[in-house]
Amino acid sequence: MEKLRTWWRGSEPQVDKSAQGDARQYFDSRACGLVDAVQSGWFKNDSGELFSGFPISSEDIVLDVGCGAGAATLWAAKQGAEVIFVDVVEEKIELLREQVQHISARGATGIVCDSTPLPIPDGTASRIMALEVLEHVEDPAKMLQELVRVGQPGSLYLLSVPDARGENIQKTIAPDAYFAPPNHIHIFERDDFARLVEDAGLEVERHTTYGFFWSLWTMFYWAWARSNGIELRGESLDVVNPPYPPLLDDWTKVWHTLIQMPEAAPLKHALDDLLPKSQLIVARKPL
Amino acid sequence: MLGLLKRIGRRVLGTPVQAAPVELPDDPTLTDAHLSGWFHRESQELFEGFPISDEDSVLDIGCGDGTFVRFCAEFGAEVIFADIDGEKIAGVERSLQGSRARGVIPLVTDANPLPLPDARVSKVVAMEVLEHVEDPAQFVQELVRVGKPGAQYLITVPDAVAENVQKHLAPASYFERPNHIRVFQRDEFEKLLTDAGLIVERRAYYGFYWSIWWFFFWACKQELSPPWHPLLESWQRTWGILLSTPDGPRIKKALDEAMPKSQAIIARKPL
């Protein structure tokens, strides 16, 4: 289950210092993406919410399925929760184990597996996350069932998949591998995603979208990569690091400038709805 | 698989990032318009599917500063241009001095009715006008009246997707008289024309660049004239770089369909 990982499941964003001497101001795509994400409701340190409507406290047992580099797991660990993180890539789990050790998590368990089934007893976790995972798996309903099984009654779920509108524009330009195994093999319309979650027995509490910035960024990346003769594979976005090509730096500068402006909030909101990268559901397992 | 990822990683990182300044078209907005189907001089099309020849009599209703009139004049057509603003009409008339137009007829009118006989023209252009008028159905009827049998119509209005976003961003006056008093859904726009007896030949959606430009414009709180806010300058530059890549036009098309500024219909009056 190799994945095209979203940025926030990657490592901590850092501004590339070497590029800062450049005459024109330099904006790091991932730093801008982080500011954008926080404005969308991610990483709310003040209220202890990983995402608006998804609080994590030291009393929680947090399961992160398809954890990738583990930004969500690390955030939960910093809240003092017990964390269980699962990924099919062994190296990711090892790296994360090491990082979690330095944080005051109540407990930390890394598991290498493909999640069907999870080697976890029924009713274990109070918080369950599967971020940009379901679009990769053969049978999303079956995976959700497994996630529901390991959740406590009353537990909260944070589930995200790429938004269909964003995916449909990618289709015009992305390499075929982007929509083939092990990458995105499902495109979920908003209704379909909500129904999938409800059919698994969860109650949807919040359904939202975000990431216009990344929708355009990705389109622009494909354009740049093709014009520079880079062989495109679905996976390659995972490893796109600074320095970025001028087109992406320019787009980042545009977006960074915009979202610092006080008048930008309704604009960002509208674009995040019209052409988002991802859709997110906060749901609850009934008591 | 991990090994593969790393190899790809090296490939991506190992590729020298273009250090030379990017070659930009002089005005990306012109490139964008051309890619949308506008001003195709090589085929004498004002818009793809809407050719202009010296045999045409073209009526441009709500001609503004006359960009479309001048294109038609270039190919020797008779141009009749109408606007409610007398100063604009005088300006367009001046700009046509010495042009190749075989006739130049300026009209200052609110088009209700048009001071033209029935079946006078072979081409009718109405760009971003219908959203301003009190009674669009009556307005279109008047346009149909002055067209010859077989006359071709090029009519555009703002697309509803972008307009609905503007509702949250633009000052209230944007959606009041004399500005946009109506938002047309795509099927409503088409029905308006077919109800008036026209036959639709082509529908087109374009202007993602401008949708975003306008959204940004409202956030910038600036006058609608240069100097432009750095945000708008950056956006123009970014779009120019995109269009200069081989896949830029394909991406533009996808984005134009997802979030166009305008919708256009080419239609014909039956013979």
Coil, strand or helix at A43: strand
- Whether residue A55 is preceded by a cis peptide bond, meaning omega within 30 degrees of 0, is no
Collect all residues of chain B within an 8 Å Cβ-Cβ radius of residue A26.
none
d(CA A236, CA A224): 13
d(CA A79, CA A252): 31
Confidence of residue A262 (pLDDT cuts 50, 70, 90): confident
Q: Residue B180 — φ and ψ, nearest 5°?
A: -80, 100
Task: Give A48→chain B minimum CA distance, Å.
Answer: 30
Domains and CATH numbers, chain A: 7-284 (3.40.50.150)
Residue A138 structure tokens: 């053969």
pLDDT value at A110 more than 50? yes
Collect all residues of chain B within an 8 Å Cβ-Cβ radius of residue A238.
5, 9
| Euclidean distance between the first and the last CA atom of chain A, given in angstroms as a whole number | 32
Q: What is the pLDDT of residue A237?
A: 54
Which residues of chain B, if any, have pLDDT below 50? Answer: 1-22
Burial B173-210 (b: 16+ CB within 10 A, else e): eebeeeebeebbebeebbebbeebebeeeeebbbbbbb
If you search the block for the tokens 């975000």, which residue do you land on? A210
Q: Residue A50 — φ and ψ, nearest 5°?
A: -65, -40
| pLDDT tens digits, one per residue of B205-221 | 999 999 999 999 988 98
Are the C-beta atoms of residues B96 and B106 closer than 8 Å to each other?
Answer: no
* Domain spans in chain B, listed from the N-terminal domain onward: 24-268
Q: Work out the angle at residue B191's Cα, subtended by the Cα atoms of residues B188 and B196, and round it to the nearest 5 degrees.
A: 135
* Cβ <8 Å between A91 and B18: no
Task: Give B232→chain A minimum CA distance, Å.
Answer: 8
Type of residue at B251: I
d(CA B171, CA B217): 11
Collect all residues of chain A within an 8 Å Cβ-Cβ radius of residue B6.
239
**Which residues on adjacent β-strands are paired with residue B152?**
B123, B268
**Who has greater pLDDT, B103 or A225?**
B103
Q: Residue B20 — φ and ψ, nearest 5°?
A: -65, 150
B1, B12, B221: best to mutate for the A interface, most A CBs within 10 A: B12
Tell me how long chain A is: 287
Size of interface A-B (CB pairs under 8 A): 128
B231, B255, B261: best to mutate for the A interface, most A CBs within 10 A: B231
Type of residue at B271: L
Confidence of residue A243 (pLDDT cuts 50, 70, 90): confident
| pLDDT tens digits, one per residue of A6-22 | 444 444 444 443 433 34
Beta carbons within 10 angstroms of residue A45's beta carbon = 11
Task: Give B126→chain A minimum CA distance, Å.
Answer: 28
Coil, strand or helix at A137: coil
**Who has greater pLDDT, A24 or B18?**
A24
B173 touches chain A (CB under 8 A): no
Q: Which of A228, A235, A267 sits opposite B219 (nearest CB)?
A: A267
**Which residues on adjacent β-strands are paired with residue A156?**
A127, A284
Q: What is the pLDDT of residue A20?
A: 39
Confidence of residue A210 (pLDDT cuts 50, 70, 90): very high
Q: What is the pLDDT of residue B4?
A: 32
B221, B241, B243: best to mutate for the A interface, most A CBs within 10 A: B241
* Cβ <8 Å between A254 and B238: yes
Q: What is the pLDDT of residue B125?
A: 98
Residues 6+ apart with CB under 8 A from A28: A13, A14, A15, A16, A19, A242, A252
Positive or negative, the CA dihedral B250, B255, B261, B265 is positive
**Among B184, B204, B188, CA closest to B196:** B188
Collect all residues of chain B within an 8 Å Cβ-Cβ radius of residue A243.
17
Quick one: average pLDDT of A68-88? 94
Instruction: Tell me which CATH code domain B24-268 carries.
Output: 3.40.50.150
Q: What is the pLDDT of residue B9?
A: 30
Type of residue at A245: P
Are the C-beta atoms of residues B69 and B81 closer than 8 Å to each other?
Answer: yes
| ipTM confidence score | 0.82
User: Residue ranges of the alpha helices (H) in A11-139?
Assistant: 29-40, 71-78, 90-101
